[in-house]
């Protein structure tokens, strides 16, 4: 049996890496004596799978984790008891039993929605940049891979951009970024847009198929509660 858990990562803990979060979960599941399934062999590891890595420094209220279990466990146990076993800022939002044969997070998720603070910028100026970027045919970024420069076009993955209101001395950019042909990180988007990157929050991960879309684990109520606490 598999459980899918949705959790948030907010505050100081955002400076930990994706790998660090995986280790926090392993320890929390052991502390709670959850009957996790382990891989076989000389070096058994708990069977956990996380979705798209959240870049270090970003916040999120839409992180997911699938846990394989040896014995059944009620999802309510996870939602009720787990946040206190995890570090401050990592909070369980929802949990559900995953239907047999459900695809993995890596395979299923097609896009993510982000809210990105853009310091020292006003909404009008940001809107102009957005118009320019959306009008571009190609958005290239060059990065180093195995010691050689590799250039990618991000344009196919930039699905939607908009500017919503202001935050402190800056504006807020809302971006929907696809995961294929490859995922785009907020820092890369900021680079091609030529803007400063403030705090970036992943608000949703979406699965889109056959003209409709849904979240791996939808939680409108919990969603609001987490953001209220964070702000």
Partner 1 sequence: MTSLWPRIEPLLAHVTKPARYIGGELGACEPDHGPGRVAWLLLYPDTYEIGLPNQGLQILYEILNERPDAVAERAYAPWTDMEAAMRAAEVPLFSVETSRPAADFDILAFNLSAELTYTNVLNLVDLAGVPVRAADRAAGHPLVIAGGHCAFNPEPMADFVDAFALGDGEEVVGEITDVVRRWQERRSTDGTSSREELLVALAGVTGVYVPSCYEPTYEAGRLTGVAPRARAVPEKVEKRTISDLGAWPYPKQQLVPLVEVVHDRLNVEVFRGCTRGCRFCQAGMITRPVRERPAAQVDRMVRSGLDRTGYDEVTLTSLSSADFSGIEKTVTSIINDPECSGQVSVSLPSLRVDAFTVGLAAEIQKVRRTGLTFAPEGGTWRMRQVINKLIREEDLYAAVDSAFSQGWQRVKLYFLIGLPTETDDDVLGIAALARACVEIGRRYHRNVTVTASVGGFVPKAHTPFQWFGQNTMEELRRKVVLLKDAVRGVRGLSLRWHDPEATTVEGLVSRGDRRMGAVIEDVWRAGGTFQEWSEHFDLGLWTGALERAGLTLEDAVYRHRPEDEILPWDHVSAGLHRDFLWQDWQEALAEHGLEDCRWTPCYDCGACTGLGVEHVVASSVAPAGGSQGTGQDLEAGGTVPVRFLATSTHAPAAPVLAGAAAVEAGG
Give the three-state DSSP class for 28: helix
Q: Show the tokens assigned to 154.
A: 């991000």
Q: Which two tokens stand for residue 100?
A: 């047999």
Among 1, 4, 30, 130, binds partner 1 (CB under 8 A): 30
* Cβ nearer to partner 1, comparing 77 with 88: 88
Looking at 27-35, 136-144, 161-169, 218-226, which segment touches partner 1 (CB under 8 A)?
27-35
Residue with tokens 């993995």: 104
Contact region for partner 1 (CB under 8 A) — 28-36, 105-113, 151-159, 169-177? Answer: 28-36
3, 8, 10, 29: which one binds partner 1 (CB under 8 A): 29
Q: Which is closer to partner 1, CB of 28 or CB of 112?
A: 28
Interacting stretch for partner 1, rule CB under 8 A, among 16-24, 60-68, 169-177, 209-217?
16-24
- Asked if 197 and 180 touch (Cβ cutoff 8 Å), the reply is no
Distance CA 217, CA 201 (A): 18
d(C-alpha 93, C-alpha 84), whole Å: 13
Site string for partner 1, 129-148 (x = CB under 8 A): --------------------
Interaction pattern, residues 69-88, with partner 1; x per rule: CB under 8 A:
----------------x-xx
- Tell me if the bond preceding 3 is cis, omega within 30° of 0: no
Cβ–Cβ under 8 Å, residues 91 and 11: no
CA torsion through residues 197, 187, 12, 231, sign:
positive
Q: How many residues bind partner 1 (CB under 8 A)?
A: 27
Regarding 23 and contact with partner 1 (CB under 8 A), the answer is yes
Query: By C-beta, is 20 or 128 nearer to partner 1?
Result: 20
Other beta carbons within 10 Å of 185: 20
Candidate segments 42-50, 72-80, 128-136, 147-155, binder of partner 1 by CB under 8 A = 42-50
Distance CA 217, CA 231 (A): 23
Interface positions with partner 1 (CB under 8 A): 12-13, 15-17, 19-20, 23-24, 26-31, 33, 38, 42-44, 56-57, 85, 87-89, 197
């Amino acid at each position: 049996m598999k459980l899918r858990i949705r959790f948030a990562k907010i505050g100081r803990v955002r400076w930990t890496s994706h790998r660090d979060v995986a280790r926090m979960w392993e320890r929390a599941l052991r502390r709670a004596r959850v009957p996790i399934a382990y891989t076989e062999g000389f070096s058994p590891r708990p069977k956990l799978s996380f979705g798209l890595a959240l870049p270090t420094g970003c916040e999120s209220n839409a992180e997911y984790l699938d846990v394989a279990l040896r014995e059944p466990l009620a999802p309510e146990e996870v939602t009720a008891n787990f946040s206190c076993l995890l570090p401050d800022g990592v909070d369980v939002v929802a949990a559900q039993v995953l239907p047999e044969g459900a695809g993995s997070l890596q395979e299923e998720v097609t896009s993510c929605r982000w809210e990105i603070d853009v310091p020292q910028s006003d909404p009008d100026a940001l809107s102009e940049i957005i118009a320019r970027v959306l009008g571009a045919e190609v958005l290239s970024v060059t990065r180093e891979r195995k010691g050689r420069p590799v250039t990618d076009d991000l344009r196919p993955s930039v699905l939607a951009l908009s500017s919503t209101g202001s935050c402190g001395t800056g504006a807020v950019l809302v971006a929907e970024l696809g995961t294929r042909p490859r995922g785009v990180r907020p820092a890369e988007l900021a680079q091609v847009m030529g803007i400063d990157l403030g705090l970036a929050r992943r608000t949703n991960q979406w699965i889109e198929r056959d003209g409709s879309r849904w979240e791996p684990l939808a939680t409108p109520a919990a969603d609001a509660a987490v953001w209220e606490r964070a702000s």
